[in-house]
Amino acid sequence: ACFHCCRWLSDVAIKSQSDAFTAIDRLLDMGAQTVIITSTFVETGQSQVLLGKNKNGEITRVEMPKIKAHFTGTGDLFNALLLAWSHEGLQSSCEKAVCTMQAVLRRTLQHYGT
């Protein structure tokens, strides 16, 4: 879920990483098997942070540089990549999805500009 969707669905104001994991736990308690929050900036400043957890208790945190451009379809791309790598486990699949997405976005920016 995106940061705002997770906040809305869990009814938790997310101002810190601890708040984010409280929201994730609430969504897991509602029946989700895995919850991943994308596009957060909690406690990092300029970097984006992906936070996730599954019912097995596996937790992930992936920090990535923010690319200063506007792209359409990044959520769809991320979800497709996450599904493609999901057999790797939560941490590895999130890291690989983020790395692949960052490469695609950089290449798109390089080819088309801002």
Active site residues: 76
CA separation (Å) from 23 to 11, 12, 52, 88?
A: 8, 6, 11, 25
DSSP 70: -
